[in-house]
């Protein structure tokens, strides 16, 4: 199987995302214990009833390190939910079609040939070109330092959802904030895996195990609430979302420390 599947791009016809809640629903972390154990928190269309009612909202998604992780599973889930995947890539390069890509067929082709080369009805693009496609949401889903001060000015997305760890450099962050691109930072966007690890610990402690649907429901509740808390914190303190995420995390640790006391 290919070793890197990197980027995700989403696009839709209407001009902008108007509400934080819509984005929150769009990027709920999803974990399927039986089938998708490596998914961190790239979106699952079937879990987003509000998003599903928005007309002409189309996703384009690029898979991750290999088929089955992060972007790959996310691409399949979004495609199955009826969203439009317009671009995907692996370590060798990507494919693009503004009318949408048949993700099931594309991933089958990739698994069989270890490359997107030769897949029909698409345009070949480099990974660098893929990052700069005009779209609503761009999801770097594998490696770090992909968005830098060298290319941040050319990004045309409205939302950047960091499925990878550290895909955006500090210098690029400043540019994105100035451009008004809404960033869902990695500390939140890919936190689905560690959240479900906590759920596993809870179940082990109880000696009672939840159905998969219960895991997904509780994960959705946790991630949506965390997203909305992040947005409120960013607004209240007039900072970018990454700074707000760190501020909120430190604030919560400090509060719990005070409430529990030294010996807790």
**Angle between helix 103-113 and 71-80 (nearest 10):** 150
- What's the rounded Cα separation, in Å, for the pair 88 and 64? 10
- What's the rounded Cα separation, in Å, for the pair 196 and 108? 29
Answer yes or no: is pLDDT of 158 > 80: yes
pTM: 0.76
Phi/psi region, residue 200 (left: phi>0; alpha: psi -120 to 50; beta: rest), is alpha
What mean pLDDT value characterizes the chain?
76
- At residue 157, φ and ψ (nearest 5 deg) are -75, 160
Higher pLDDT, 84 or 11: 84
Q: For a pLDDT cut of 90, what percent of the chain falls above it?
A: 43
The mean pLDDT of 121-136, rounded to a whole number, is 88
Which tokens in the block code for residue 189? 């966007």
The mean pLDDT of 188-198, rounded to a whole number, is 91
The mean pLDDT of 175-201, rounded to a whole number, is 93
Q: Which of 57, 49, 112, 115 is nearest to 86 (CA)?
A: 57
Answer yes or no: is pLDDT of 129 > 50: yes
The count of domains in the chain is: 1
For residue 89, what is the domain's CATH number? 3.40.50.720
What contacts 217, CB < 8 A, 6 or more positions away? none
Residue 199 domain boundaries: 5-260
The tokens 């509000």 sit on which residue?
Answer: 50
Residue 160 · residue 182 · CB < 8 Å: yes
Answer yes or no: is pLDDT of 251 > 90: yes
């Amino acid at each position: 199987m290919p070793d890197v599947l990197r980027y995700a791009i989403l696009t839709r016809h209407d001009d902008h995302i108007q509400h934080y809640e819509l984005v929150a629903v769009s990027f709920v972390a999803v974990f399927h214990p039986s089938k998708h154990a490596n998914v961190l928190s790239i979106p699952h269309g079937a879990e987003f009833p509000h998003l599903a009612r928005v007309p002409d909202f189309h996703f384009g998604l690029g898979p991750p390190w290999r088929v089955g992780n992060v972007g790959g599973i996310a691409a399949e889930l979004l495609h199955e939910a009826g969203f439009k995947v317009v671009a995907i890539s692996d370590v060798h390069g990507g494919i693009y079609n503004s009318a949408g890509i048949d993700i099931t067929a594309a991933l089958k082709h990739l698994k069989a040939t270890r490359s997107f080369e030769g897949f029909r009805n698409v345009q070949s693009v480099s990974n660098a070109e893929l990052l700069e496609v005009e779209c609503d949401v761009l999801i770097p889903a594998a490696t770090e330092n992909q968005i830098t001060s060298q290319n941040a000015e050319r990004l045309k997305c409205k939302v950047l959802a960091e499925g990878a760890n550290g895909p955006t450099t500090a210098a690029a962050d400043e540019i994105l904030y100035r451009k008004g691109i809404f960033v869902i930072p990695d500390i939140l966007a890919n936190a689905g895996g560690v959240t479900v690890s906590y759920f596993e610990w809870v179940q082990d402690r109880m000696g009672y195990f939840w159905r998969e649907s219960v895991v997904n429901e509780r994960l959705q509740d946790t991630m949506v609430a965390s997203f909305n808390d992040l947005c409120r914190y960013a607004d209240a303190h007039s900072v970018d979302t990454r700074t707000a995420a760190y501020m909120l995390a430190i604030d919560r640790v400090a509060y719990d420390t005070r409430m529990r006391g030294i010996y807790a």
